[in-house]
């Protein structure tokens, strides 16, 4: 897998979307677990890209290009998982997005990817999402969980707005709300009344799994 990792990293950084999909397909056909590709290759690569962006080693066009390649790889993996799955039952439905005032989405994209390959239906609202857009989507799509991401401290108050708006509409108890992102903490999540906090993508999947188990248990 090391050779694949190096080649995928090269594709992501250079925007080679078609080649990234081809080598991913070949890696899966050679017997590599698709989930291993996500967790051991795609997630670390996107973490590295995000780190390069924060250090100004790459710029916004590069970040967008890399995200497009990662999405193509994710779609290939998801298609394979769906075609080989004997269990069509959804693990749950999640509306996810980066809150208003923040256009960062690498971390959010990683979480969305891991949720999808673990059987969740994901409605990705993108970035700079207004508070009511989360609520409107949750109601329309009948989601189980609303996942809010923020990479800027200046955008974190919009997480509060989502929760307060839900309370004002009398629908707070209908949905579980989880939060995450660089400046977000477990203490912050508790202080605003969120239902959970995750430090990374793997933890987010485990948190959603726990929430869904509790919902099904009644």
When divided into structural domains, the chain yields a total of 2
Do 73 and 98 share a domain, yes or no? Answer: no
- Tell which of 55, 81, 107 closes a domain: 81
Whether 33 sits among the annotated catalytic residues: the reply is no
> What average pLDDT score do residues 58-76 get?
89
* Residue at 75 is within a domain: yes
Residue 209 belongs to what domain range?
93-217
Do 69 and 120 share a domain, yes or no? Answer: no
Each residue's pLDDT tens digit, 132-160: 999 999 999 999 999 999 989 999 999 99
Do 97 and 6 share a domain, yes or no? Answer: no
Do 75 and 173 share a domain, yes or no? Answer: no
Catalytic residue among 104, 105, 144, 149: 104
Q: What is the pLDDT of residue 34?
A: 85
Q: What is the pLDDT of residue 103?
A: 86
Question: Is the distance from CB of 158 to CB of 100 less than 8 angstroms?
Answer: yes
Which are the contacts of 146, defined by CB distance < 8 A and separation ≥ 6?
Answer: 94, 95, 96, 134, 135, 138, 162, 175, 176, 177, 178
Do 45 and 19 share a domain, yes or no? Answer: yes
Do 136 and 182 share a domain, yes or no? Answer: yes
Do 101 and 208 share a domain, yes or no? Answer: yes
Whether 87 sits among the annotated catalytic residues: the reply is no
Question: Which residue carries 């707005």 as its tokens?
Answer: 161
CA pair distance 148, 118, nearest whole angstrom: 19
Instruction: Tell whether the model's pLDDT for residue 69 goes beyond 70.
Output: yes
CA pair distance 134, 25, nearest whole angstrom: 34
Catalytic residue among 66, 102, 124, 144: 102
Do 212 and 119 share a domain, yes or no? Answer: yes
Q: What is the pLDDT of residue 189?
A: 97
The pTM (predicted TM-score) of the whole model is 0.77
C-alpha distances out from residue 8 to 94, 110, 113, 151, Å: 28, 16, 16, 26
Do 48 and 72 share a domain, yes or no? Answer: yes
* Residue at 87 is within a domain: no
* Residue at 107 is within a domain: yes
DSSP classification of residue 129: B
Do 120 and 195 share a domain, yes or no? Answer: yes
Q: CA 206: distance to chain centroid?
A: 13
- Tell which of 81, 106, 139 closes a domain: 81
* Residue at 143 is within a domain: yes
Lowest mean pLDDT among 15-19, 82-86, 106-110: 82-86
* Residue at 88 is within a domain: no
Q: By percentage, how much of the chain surpasses pLDDT 90?
A: 64
Comparing CA positions, the residue from 32, 122, 24 lying closest to residue 74 is 24
CA pair distance 186, 82, nearest whole angstrom: 34
Instruction: Tell whether the model's pLDDT for residue 119 goes beyond 90.
Output: no
Do 118 and 210 share a domain, yes or no? Answer: yes
> For the CA atoms of 95, 98, 100, 101, what is the dihedral angle to 10 degrees?
180
CA pair distance 33, 81, nearest whole angstrom: 10
Instruction: Tell whether the model's pLDDT for residue 13 goes beyond 60.
Output: yes
CATH number of the structural domain spanning residue 48: 1.10.1240.10
Interior angle at CA 88, CA 83 and CA 89, nearest 5: 150
* Residue at 61 is within a domain: yes
Whether 195 sits among the annotated catalytic residues: the reply is no
* Residue at 209 is within a domain: yes
Q: What is the pLDDT of residue 85?
A: 59
Catalytic residue among 66, 149, 155, 198: 155
* Residue at 86 is within a domain: no
C-alpha distances out from residue 192 to 43, 114, 130, 195, Å: 29, 26, 17, 9
> What average pLDDT score do residues 49-64 get?
88
Each residue's pLDDT tens digit, 14-54: 999 999 999 999 999 999 988 789 878 988 898 888 889 88
Q: What is the pLDDT of residue 84?
A: 67
- Tell which of 48, 81, 114 closes a domain: 81
For the chain, the average pLDDT equals 91
Do 110 and 156 share a domain, yes or no? Answer: yes
CATH number of the structural domain spanning residue 155: 3.40.50.280
């Amino acid at each position: 897998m090391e050779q694949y990792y190096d080649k995928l990293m090269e594709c992501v950084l250079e925007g080679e979307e078609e080649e990234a999909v081809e080598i991913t397909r070949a890696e899966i056909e050679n017997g590599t677990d698709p989930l291993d590709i996500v967790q051991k290759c795609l997630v670390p690569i996107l973490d590295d890209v995000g780190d390069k962006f924060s250090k100004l080693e790459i710029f916004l066009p590069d970040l967008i290009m890399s995200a497009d390649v990662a999405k193509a790889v994710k779609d290939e993996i998801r298609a394979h998982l769906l075609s080989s799955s004997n269990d069509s039952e959804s693990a749950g439905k999640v509306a996810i997005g980066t809150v208003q005032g923040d256009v960062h989405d690498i971390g959010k994209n990683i979480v969305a990817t891991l949720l999808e390959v673990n059987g969740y239906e994901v409605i990705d609202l993108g970035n700079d999402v207004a508070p009511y857009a989360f609520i409107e989507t949750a109601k329309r799509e009948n989601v189980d969980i609303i996942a809010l991401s923020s990479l800027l401290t200046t955008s974190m108050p919009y997480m509060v707005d989502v929760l307060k708006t839900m309370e004002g509409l009398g629908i707070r108890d209908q949905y579980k709300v989880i939060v995450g992102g660089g400046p977000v903490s477990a203490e912050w999540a508790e202080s605003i009344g969120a239902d959970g906090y995750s430090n990374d993508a793997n933890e987010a999947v485990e948190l959603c799994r726990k929430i869904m188990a509790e919902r099904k248990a009644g």
